[in-house]
């Protein structure tokens, strides 16, 4: 019986591809969204901040504000604000890593592992780490 996922975790690579106008991966990102029109999708606060930071660097604050408004007004998205305990757990995992991953990447892997959810990401490091964690 196939596994049915109800919640997907979004990472910044995916969000940037979708929300950065002119990104080469936009077609791929929108096609994936089209296949998952009714899925609930989680955006961790740290990932949202990272995404908005990159968009500010690339396109400026007008794009950032428009993107934020689009995210908060779309019913499928839920922004998850990490608790102090969760941040401490993720920080411990961040300090233990042997790769060059950001706190936000580790937070995404942490959330996927906890919720047994798939990730929507174009970052191969995240996908690799997630596979490793699932095998252990």
Contacting residues toward other proteins, per CB under 8 A? 12-13, 16-26, 30, 33-34, 36-38, 50, 53-54, 57-58, 69-70, 72-76, 100-102, 104-105, 121-125
What is the closest distance, in whole angstroms, from the C-beta atom of residue 106 to other proteins in the complex? 11
CA of 87: how far to CAs of 41, 59, 66, 94, in Å? 20, 29, 28, 10
**Residue that is written with structure tokens 């591809």 in the block:** 17
Q: Of 52 and 111, which has the nearer Cβ to other proteins?
A: 52
What is the closest distance, in whole angstroms, from the C-beta atom of residue 54 to other proteins in the complex? 5
Write phi, then psi, for 75 (nearest 5 degrees): -60, -30
Q: Of 36 and 113, which has the nearer Cβ to other proteins?
A: 36
Q: Of 65 and 134, which has the nearer Cβ to other proteins?
A: 65
List all residues 6 or more positions away from 89 whose beta carbon is below 8 Å from its beta carbon: 110
**Residue that is written with structure tokens 């839920």 in the block:** 78
Q: Can you give the length of the chain in residues?
A: 136
Q: Of 37 and 95, which has the nearer Cβ to other proteins?
A: 37
Helix, strand, or coil (residue 39): coil
What is the closest distance, in whole angstroms, from the C-beta atom of residue 1 to other proteins in the complex? 26
């Amino acid at each position: 019986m196939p596994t049915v996922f109800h919640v997907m975790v979004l990472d910044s690579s995916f969000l940037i591809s979708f929300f950065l106008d002119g990104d080469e991966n936009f077609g791929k990102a929108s096609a994936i969204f089209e296949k998952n029109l009714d899925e609930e999708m989680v955006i961790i606060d740290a990932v949202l901040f990272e995404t908005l930071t990159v968009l500010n660097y690339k396109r400026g604050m007008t794009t950032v504000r428009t993107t934020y408004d689009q995210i908060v007004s779309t019913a499928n998205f839920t922004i998850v604000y990490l608790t102090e305990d969760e941040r401490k757990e993720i920080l411990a995992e961040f300090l233990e890593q042997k790769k060059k991953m950001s706190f936000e990447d580790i937070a995404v892997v942490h959330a996927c592992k906890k919720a047994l959810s798939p990730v929507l990401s174009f970052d191969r490091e995240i996908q690799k780490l997630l596979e490793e964690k699932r095998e252990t």
